[in-house]
Amino acid sequence: MILALSVLRLGGKLGVVLFVMITGYFMLNKEFKWARILDLSKQTLFFSVVMAVLAYSFAGFKTVLLDILKMLFPLVLGNYWFPTDFAIVLILSPILNTVIQSTDKKILTIGLVGLIVLVGFPIVTPDMKNSIVGLVLAYMLGAYIRKFDLKMANVKLIIALILAVVLTIAITGLLITASETSAFISSFKLFFVTGFNISAFLVAFLVFMLFSQWNIGYIKVINFVASTTFGVYLFHDNRSFRIYMWHELIDPTRWQGANLILGLLVSVVIIFLFGMFLEIIRRSLSKGALTLVGLVKGLYRKRNIEVSKVV
């Protein structure tokens, strides 16, 4: 059970790497626009404020001046780790795109593999903490796939994916067992399922390649759900509410055995759906605000025209 729950942690960084890979894939040939940073800031601000209100309402969360400032300026003051670092990667994207576009494939391949191995293995530190480095590598990996239009047989990808997951589970199991008698191994027993590890990059690469080669066409429901995932993240990873949510509302400690897995799966579905609901509300409010601004501008122009005719 400990091994199963530990391996589930791989999904966290796997999702992050895939999200940024997709960004790199589609932004390789696009111009940088500050509007993307502004949209990211507005979305993060909405969830930052809403979650702070929920934390105060349900958990009686006490705030100090720094908490209020983080709530109002979440992107600048790092109220969430990912949006702030992701914004930095977006700002760096013109430089990263230039590097991808102007570098020889062989040199770029060696460089990316070398950096991923350096970051993804416990060579320099037991746990790589520099998230910006991890996100930059994920961005460049997605852009690299787009630039050279990489293709692999689906059968090979599936076999490689299974082997990568099995190997990750086996190594993690061995490290967990060995950590009971070794303080040194205990320091990185979960290295291959947490942080920007080699497993996250490898599995993300294989999953990305596999799905990028499947032509499933345009499915409105899938695209809509996918477009809400960032909002779901902002809901469930809010610092002021997530502890209360997991420890009080959900409280996995009350479940044992199969009930633990089932309870966690149901909790994930509920969290995802509620995050989607909040994101839909945010979009509706944003759309309504834009409509109102457009209406006010239209009335203002009409009034000016009428005044000019009188004059």
Q: SS3 for the chain, per residue?
A: CHHHHHHHCHHHHHHHHHHHHHHHHHHCCCCCCHHHHHHHHHHHHHHHHHHHHHHHHHHCCCCCHHHHHHHHCHHHHCCCHHHHHHHHHHHHHHHHHHHHHHCCHHHHHHHHHHHHHHHHCCCCCCCCCCHHHHHHHHHHHHHHHHHHCCCCCHHHHHHHHHHHHHHHHHHHHHHHHHCCCCHHHHCCCCHHHCCCCHHHHHHHHHHHHHHHCCCCCCCHHHHHHHHCHHHHHHHHCCHHHHHHHHHHHHCHHHCCCHHHHHHHHHHHHHHHHHHHHHHHHHHHHHHHHHHHHHHHHHHHHHHHHHHHHHC
Q: Which of 152, 160, 118, 150 is nearest to 137 (CA)?
A: 118
3-state secondary structure 14-53: HHHHHHHHHHHHHHCCCCCCHHHHHHHHHHHHHHHHHHHH
Q: Which of 147, 124, 88 is nearest to 196 (CA)?
A: 124
Lowest mean pLDDT among 98-107, 118-127, 169-178: 118-127
State what percent of residues in the chain have pLDDT above 70. 92
d(CA 243, CA 68): 18
- Apex CA 16: angle with CA 14 and CA 21, to 5°? 95
pLDDT value at residue 299: 79
pLDDT value at residue 7: 78
89 or 310, higher pLDDT: 89
Residue range 93-116, pLDDT digits in tens: 999 999 999 999 999 999 999 988
Residue range 227-264, pLDDT digits in tens: 999 999 999 888 878 888 888 888 888 888 788 888 88
For the chain, the average pLDDT equals 87
pLDDT value at residue 183: 82
User: In Å, how far from its chain's centre is CA 24?
Assistant: 13
The pLDDT-based confidence of 92 (bands split at 50, 70, 90) is: very high
Contacts of 87 (CB under 8 A, 6+ apart): 37, 40, 41, 75
pLDDT value at residue 100: 95
Q: Which of 69-78, 262-271, 276-285 has the highest mean pLDDT?
A: 276-285
pLDDT value at residue 257: 77
Q: Which of 71-75, 153-157, 172-176, 303-307 has the highest mean pLDDT?
A: 153-157
d(CA 65, CA 70): 9
pLDDT value at residue 155: 93
pLDDT value at residue 222: 86
d(CA 145, CA 155): 19
Question: 161 pLDDT exceeds 70?
Answer: yes
